[in-house]
Structure 1
Amino acid sequence: MDTDVLVVGAGPTGMMLANELRVAGVPPVLVDKLPQRSTLSKAGGVQSRTQEAFDQRGLLEPLLATGNYPAGTAHFAGITLPLTRDRHRHPWRSVPQVVIEGFLERHLAAQGIPVRRSYELTGLAQDEDGVTATFASGDVIRSRYLVAADGGRSTVRSLLGAAFPGRAGTITTVAADVRLSGDDPAMTHARSEDGHWASVFPLGTDPRGRPLRRLALGGPGRSVPREVPVTEDEIRDGLRAVFGSRVQLLELCYARRITNAARQAARYRHGRVFLAGDAAHVHLPIGAQGMNTGLQDALNLGWKLGAAVRGWAPEHLLDTYHTERHPVAAAVLRNVQAQSLLMDHQGTGDPDLTAAKDLFAALARLRDVQYHLDDVLSGMGIRYPMPAAEDLPLVGLPAPDLDLGPVRSHELLRPGRGVLIDPLDRFAKVATLWQDRVDRAGQGTGTEPMLIRPDGYVCWAGNPDDLEPALGHWFGEPHRRTELDRS
């Protein structure tokens, strides 16, 4: 083998996965077909759960220190959810994808994992022992596992012949990075009486410190073929249709047309090959949910692949990647499709649709509705199917951030190992048997006992009799099984 894991695609998903594997003690080979990193912003927001994931690895503060990334308020179909802004430890933030990619690439390079560029995949074959990847350059890389993080038009998925069911795009809208003048709305969702609409939110600043905005435009007659270039005149006309003379275009930095295509891979695992990020799911970009979902794919898969390579993964562990993450992306596709319908991207002005949106907007003023939508959008409401999860309120959910005296519980996850919170010092004997992969902490604190996976999800809480089965289920056979038998 040339490497244990080959990651194809160096976008946010691929680089996050590479870092998770590094933390797990299995540094991968990371390749990308582009000769240099993209300078396009693409996605522009980071959810609460994604920020927690960065924080668990000690990456959040360094990331936020690279610029001014203001906290914002989530929205659903353009309807703001102000009651949710301070609900989580980390509020939604506007951090462009290009910033995240640059930050992760520099971090990986400093850890000895450079991105190998100009690696265009042309062939793929797998057998019982590994995967052979062939590239246009003539290079061949042999790995035990391969992860496809190569985007919505994934070459890996195509070479696999993997089913990618769903709906082709039926409309297009414009997405652009711009500098604006006049009122220069920092964040707004506006619509004219004749159905033209615009969404604007901050993207930080350009290299000269000037504020950038992500602008989306749509409405009657604005859905044109995807390959038609977006012009400055088209942007100006769209702004005028919504804002009149109050907002003007100063500079168009980048623009593209996006579609409402919605597809998801039928299976995320194909033998020794795994699909992640946009290679596994695509949808209309709303709220950067695609990027955030891909980053969470990486967080879920990384420690499991690391466990498999290091030899302690239970037989079923790699299959839980599909069973846990496929329903999450399916739910994202559903909420995006609902938002797209309510936003009426084509500006039809259908009175039935207007009535439905008015009713929804009224419901969205209720606290419980805002909280539910926030759970959907922030990633904090994800609950993975786990043994006893239905009976115990914490199991399957992201772990709470606990005060354990000198440290917070999220800091204990930085080595990429499991964490057993043992406040009454009851589980020392059983924990010792998994001490090569699970740390024990929390003695003398007022928290409740729980077992946290390396990706930050609670996998046991409550009944002491269930702790040993939970350790075995998620962390494999204990290192010193015979000593437990003697005791």
Structure 2
Amino acid sequence: MDTDVLVVGAGPTGMTLAGELRVAGVSAVLVDKLAQRSALSKAGGVQSRTQEAFDQRGLLEPLLATGNYPAGTAHFAGITLPLTRDRHRHPWRSIPQVAIEGFLEQHLAAQEIHVLRDHELTGITQDEDGVTATFANGGVIRSRYLVAADGGHSTVRSLLGAEFPGRPGTETVVAADVRLSGDDQAMTHTRSEDGHWVLVFPLGTDPQGRPLRRVSMGGPGRSVPREVPVTEDEIREGLRAVFGSQVELLELCYARRITNAARQATRYRHGRVFLAGDAAHVHLPIGAQGMNTGIQDALNLGWKLGAAVHGWAPGHLLDTYHAERHPVAAAVLRNVQAQSLLMDQQGTGDPDLLAAKDLFAALTRLRDVQYHLDDMVSGMGIRYPMPGTEDQPLVGLPAPDLDLGPVRSHELLRSGRGLLIDPAGRFAEVAALWPDRVDRAGQGTGTEPMLIRPDGYVCWAGDQDALEPALGHWFGEPR
């Protein structure tokens, strides 16, 4: 084998996965067909759950130190959810995808993982032992497993002939990174009476320290073919239609058209090949859910591939990747489609739709509704199907960050191993059977005992008799 895992695609999903594989102690090769990293930001925000995961790996503070990334308030269909701002340890932050990719690539380089660029995949074959990948430049890489993180037009998915059902794109809207002048207060008004709309949110600053903003816009007659270039005049006209003379375009950094296509792979696993990120699911980008969902795919899959390479993974473990992540992306597709409808992105002005949105907006003034929507779009409400979810409220959810005396629990997850919180010191003998896979901590604290997977999800809590079966279920046979 040339490497344990070949990762195809060096976007946020692929680079996160490569980092997780390094934490798991297995080798990875990361390839990309582009000659250099893209300067385009397809996404502009990082959700609370993704920030928690970065914090669990010691990456969040270094990432935030690379720029000015303001905290923001969650929204659903353009309706802000102000009551949710301080619910989570890490609020939603405006961090452009290009900044995340630059940071992750630098982090990987420090771990001696370098992106092999100009590697256009042309073929894959797999057998009982591994996968052979061939490239247009004549290169061949042999690996135990291969992960497709190569985007919505995934070459890997095409070579597999994997089913990718759903809806093709029928409409387009404009997304652009810009510098604007004008009244910041005016920029909160997003829709004109004739159906034109503009959504503006901050993107931090450019290298010269000037504020950048992400602008999305659409309305009657503005859905044109995706390949038609976006011009500065088009951006100016869209701004003027909503803000009048109060907001002006100073600089257009980049712009593209995005579609409302919604597709999801039927299966995420094809033997030794796995689909992740946009290779597994595509949808209209609202709230950066696509990028965050892809990063979470990588976090879910990385430690499981590591377990398989090391030889201790239970037979079902790799299959739990599809079982856990497929429903999550399916739910994202549904909420994005609902948001797109409520936002009336084509500016139809349908009175029935406007009535529905007015009613929905009234409901979102209720705290419980805001909390429900926030859990949905932040990733914090994800609960994986696991043994124990029937009677243990913590099992399947992201682990709480616990004070364990000199350290906090999220810091202990940086090892890439499981973590058994044992406040009464009752489980030392059981934990000792998995010393290379599970750490034990928390003796003397007042927290509830729980077992946390390497990706930060609780997989056991409470019932003493169920601990050893849970350890075997997630961490294999004792040593």
The TM-score by the shorter chain falls in which range? Answer: over 0.9
Spell out the pairing of 1:341-352 with structure 2 (5 A cutoff). 341-352=341-352
- Cα drift, residue 187 of structure 1: 6.5
Match of residue 225 from structure 1: 225
Match of residue 140 from structure 1: 140
> In the aligned structure 2, how far is the partner of 1:457 from the partner of 1:59?
18
Preserved contact between residue 27 and residue 113 of structure 1 (Cα < 8 Å): no
Would you say 1:358 and 2:362 are equivalent positions? Answer: no
Preserved contact between residue 5 and residue 143 of structure 1 (Cα < 8 Å): yes
1:184-214 superposed Cα distances (whole Å, 9 cap, x missing partner) = 4597351000000000001111111111100
Match of residue 329 from structure 2: 329
Match of residue 372 from structure 2: 372
Preserved contact between residue 181 and residue 250 of structure 2 (Cα < 8 Å): yes
Preserved contact between residue 262 and residue 282 of structure 1 (Cα < 8 Å): yes
Match of residue 84 from structure 2: 84
Match of residue 443 from structure 2: 443
Match of residue 168 from structure 1: 168
Match of residue 315 from structure 2: 315
SS in 1 for 2:34: coil
Corresponding residue pairs, total = 479
Unaligned runs of 5+ in 2: none
SS in 1 for 2:415: coil
Spell out the pairing of 1:182-221 with structure 2 (5 A cutoff). 182-184=182-184, 188=188, 190-221=190-221
- Cα drift, residue 27 of structure 1: 2.5
Q: What letter matches 1:294 in structure 2?
A: G
Alignment CA distance shift 1:163-1:55 (3 Å)? same
Q: TM-score, normalised by structure 1?
A: 0.98
- Cα drift, residue 183 of structure 1: 1.2
Match of residue 250 from structure 2: 250
Match of residue 462 from structure 2: 462
> In the aligned structure 2, how far is the partner of 1:92 from the partner of 1:476?
36
> In the aligned structure 2, how far is the partner of 1:415 from the partner of 1:38?
31
Preserved contact between residue 299 and residue 455 of structure 1 (Cα < 8 Å): yes
Match of residue 452 from structure 2: 452
Preserved contact between residue 45 and residue 94 of structure 1 (Cα < 8 Å): yes
After superposing on structure 2, the runs of 4+ consecutive aligned residues of structure 1 that deviate more than 6 Å are: none
> In the aligned structure 1, how far is the partner of 2:342 from the partner of 2:105?
37
Query: Percent identity among equivalent residues?
Result: 88
> In the aligned structure 1, how far is the partner of 2:440 from the partner of 2:415?
13
> In the aligned structure 1, how far is the partner of 2:65 from the partner of 2:426?
41
Match of residue 483 from structure 1: none
- Cα drift, residue 398 of structure 1: 0.2
Match of residue 260 from structure 1: 260
SS in 2 for 1:116: coil
> In the aligned structure 1, how far is the partner of 2:406 from the partner of 2:434?
24
Preserved contact between residue 186 and residue 246 of structure 2 (Cα < 8 Å): no
- Cα drift, residue 230 of structure 1: 0.4
> In the aligned structure 1, how far is the partner of 2:342 from the partner of 2:25?
46
1:82-133 superposed Cα distances (whole Å, 9 cap, x missing partner) = 0000000000000000000000000000101001110000011111111010
> In the aligned structure 1, how far is the partner of 2:187 from the partner of 2:426?
51
Preserved contact between residue 186 and residue 202 of structure 1 (Cα < 8 Å): no
Would you say 1:129 and 2:126 are equivalent positions? Answer: no
> In the aligned structure 2, how far is the partner of 1:56 from the partner of 1:220?
45
Match of residue 67 from structure 1: 67
Preserved contact between residue 43 and residue 96 of structure 2 (Cα < 8 Å): yes
SS in 2 for 1:115: coil
Unaligned runs of 5+ in 1: 480-487
Preserved contact between residue 186 and residue 200 of structure 1 (Cα < 8 Å): no
SS in 1 for 2:252: strand
Match of residue 237 from structure 1: 237
Match of residue 287 from structure 2: 287
Q: What letter matches 1:140 in structure 2?
A: V
> In the aligned structure 2, how far is the partner of 1:81 from the partner of 1:27?
42
Alignment CA distance shift 1:185-1:213 (3 Å)? farther
Q: Give RMSD over aligned pairs.
A: 0.8
Would you say 1:119 and 2:119 are equivalent positions? Answer: yes
Q: What letter matches 1:445 in structure 2?
A: T
Q: What letter matches 2:411 in structure 1?
A: E
Alignment CA distance shift 1:46-1:186 (3 Å)? farther
Preserved contact between residue 48 and residue 380 of structure 2 (Cα < 8 Å): yes
1:46-85 superposed Cα distances (whole Å, 9 cap, x missing partner) = 0000000000000000000001101000000000000000
Q: What letter matches 2:286 in structure 1?
A: I
Alignment CA distance shift 1:60-1:410 (3 Å)? same
> In the aligned structure 1, how far is the partner of 2:284 from the partner of 2:356?
21
Preserved contact between residue 130 and residue 272 of structure 1 (Cα < 8 Å): yes
Q: What letter matches 2:442 in structure 1?
A: G
